[in-house]
Structure 1
Amino acid sequence: MAEPFKNLAWDDFRLIKAVADAKGLPAAAAQIGVNHSTVFRRLKQIEENLGSVLFERHRTGYALTPAGEEMVALANRLDEEITAVGRKLAGREPAPSGELRVTVPDSLLIDFLVPILASFRQRYPEVRLDIVLSNQALNLSKRDADVAIRATDHPPENLVGRRVARIAWALYGRSQDYPEPNAVTQEQLDTANWVSLGDSLGALKAVKFVQEHVAPERVAYKINSVLGLAEAVEAGIGIGHIPCLIGDARPTLVRIGPPDEDYAADLWLLTHPDLRHSPRVRAFLDFLATEIARHRRFMEGGAGHQSRVPPVDGPATDVTA
């Protein structure tokens, strides 16, 4: 079996793995960026070189043979080794440069981080930022992203990072609807329309509150975006819990309840251990930790209404996840 392997390249293993994952040729072709006929031809050549059939063709798709399972297992090991080497080489770069992929929720980017990222680019013009808007957990071990900016009290154990602030949440409404926000009564809250994050985010305590304490007919609007939630409150659709860093940056909104610690979450800057000493990752983490620390009081709900560039505050806390 050793001789046939001399004719195999890493792209061949990628193709086998793609067909196995997709269980068919069209989806596999789209995954690796070639056309259907190319995948068919290359797979046939690979099987001829190996002298083994790797897939059984069924109406429901392509199923691995025992030989195919061995090849996919080998492809997975090669993928892990190549990714690991890439991470280690990235950690040996002599100066901050190259592309840095950062995943961040839209609410943090649009209302808060863009000016900070612009300042980072001015400081490190050789670092190119590739921003991925997402609230989902990306696989930093697979280099889906180099840095993840996440609000969570439970960061993944396989990552390292810094807890730089705590994001406070409060109940907000429009200032024109609540000219005396400190005098809002329980009756007003009971009869108000509400907006909420969707049921898919039901693990969040702010969502659980609405599910347990607000009559279903009073929930006028649900959305799976925190930024969209704030815009719904600002449009007058209803009242709702939103992060203070978003609510306090909008002059048309007022808090109609104090920040609730039960809804708060830590803000983390996370990366893979193999990348933590990469010059571009290190520079990014250091810069963001310093800049976010300047706005920490604002993020934690203690500053009241501010512009979207809050005032200087204190230093960041550097901890390992």
Structure 2
Amino acid sequence: MALDWDEFRFAKAVADRGGLTAAAADLGINHSTAFRRLAALEAKLNTRLFERLRTGYVPTPAGQAMIAAAARIEADVARFTRVVAGQGETPSGELRVTAPAGFAAELLMPMLASFTERYPDIRIELILAEATLNLSRRDADVAIRISREPSETLVGRRLAVTAWGVYGRADRAYGDLAREAWISPGPLVAGGSFMRFVEARVPPDHIRLRLNAVIGLEAAVQAGLGIGPLPCFTADVNPALQRLSGPHPELGADLWILTHPDLRHAARVRVFMEHIAEALLPLRPRFEGR
């Protein structure tokens, strides 16, 4: 019985998404096509791959075996592409870089400008995301991350410590900060450490705004919605803001540049990581709130 990779990929997409509609959207096909493909695949195998339940499509034992095989194939293909991508000696080609949106807007663009001028044969795809992309699947080649504990499966270097303080508007005089309105990142940001920091200082009814991401915090403080924790590397250079306390070590984390071990010797990856580390070195006092 001859099966091709697309059939494995299709079955895995149905399992990952829990049904045909979402799987079809992921694969770029319509629902009726997905329905026909699943029926044809089950007929070809002469076995049922999914139980159709009210809560979604649940894999049968045969479906689970096919999905496990698909995951292994996907990992092997990703490993092969990393190895091939890592063999180039000339700094050229596509380079996928992921970084937090706030860091990119404030600091990364000048570094990218000098990098592309130095290495004109490298074309960068920049993915701005607070979420952690999977470098093993080559969602990105290089990740710039702020983290206390980066993944043990990646290699790279720590670039700086990112300090945080409490900030308010520069045109206001503040007394007891516990009496002020506050802005806070929500419980899903940094494992809830920012929310715990704020809640330890003010009662819940003083928290005027919660955000589900770091981006937007500085604009909220500058707009006068309240005071709150901000990264020193952006807030200290904003003339509309003043630092009211900090840096606070419990909010700090490390700035890393990371890649997959299979890509560490690829020329375009190596020169990019070296360039960013070199460009950021003079900025370390700013990151550390000094």
- With the shorter chain as reference, the TM-score category is over 0.9
Identity among equivalent pairs (%):
47
Would you say the 8 A contact 1:170–1:255 is kept in 2?
Answer: yes
Residue 58 of structure 2 aligns with an amino acid whose one-letter code is A
Aligned residue in 1 for 2:139: 144
1:253 aligns with 2:248: no
TM-score between both structures, scaled by the size of structure 1: 0.84
Shift of 1:228: 0.8
Task: Single out whichever of 166-175 and 66-75 deviates more from structure 2.
Answer: 66-75
Task: Single out whichever of 160-169 and 65-74 deviates more from structure 2.
Answer: 65-74
Alpha-carbon spacing, 1:61–1:196, altered in 2? closer, same or farther (3 Å): closer
1:213 aligns with 2:208: no
Aligned residue in 1 for 2:66: 71
Shift of 1:224: 2.3
Would you say the 8 A contact 1:204–1:263 is kept in 2?
Answer: no
Matching residue within 140, 150, 154 for 1:155: 150
Would you say the 8 A contact 2:130–2:213 is kept in 1?
Answer: no
1:22 aligns with 2:4: no
Alpha-carbon spacing, 1:60–1:219, altered in 2? closer, same or farther (3 Å): closer
Residue 219 of structure 1 aligns with an amino acid whose one-letter code is I
Alpha-carbon spacing, 1:110–1:45, altered in 2? closer, same or farther (3 Å): same
User: How many residue pairs are counted as aligned between the two chains?
Assistant: 290
The whole-number CA distance in structure 2 between the counterparts of 1:226 and 1:60 is: 35
Instruction: Give structure 2 stretches of 5+ with no counterpart.
Output: none
Cα deviations by residue, 1:264-295 (Å, 9 ceiling, x for unpaired): 21100111111111222112111111111121
Q: Equivalences for 1:242-321 in 2 at 5 Å?
A: 242-302=230-290
Aligned residue in 1 for 2:210: 222
1:166 aligns with 2:166: no
CA RMSD of aligned residues (A): 1.9
The whole-number CA distance in structure 1 between the counterparts of 2:272 and 2:37 is: 42
Residue 225 of structure 1 aligns with an amino acid whose one-letter code is A
Would you say the 8 A contact 2:186–2:194 is kept in 1?
Answer: no
Residue 132 of structure 1 aligns with an amino acid whose one-letter code is I
Q: Equivalences for 1:86-165 in 2 at 5 Å?
A: 86-165=81-160
Aligned to 2:191, the other structure's residue is in SS state coil
Shift of 1:64: 2.4
Shift of 1:204: 5.0
Residue 149 of structure 1 aligns with an amino acid whose one-letter code is I
Q: Which has the larger radius of gyration?
A: 1
Alpha-carbon spacing, 1:176–1:138, altered in 2? closer, same or farther (3 Å): same
Instruction: Give structure 1 stretches of 5+ with no counterpart.
Output: 179-183, 303-321
Aligned to 2:216, the other structure's residue is in SS state helix
Alpha-carbon spacing, 1:68–1:262, altered in 2? closer, same or farther (3 Å): closer
TM-score between both structures, scaled by the size of structure 2: 0.92
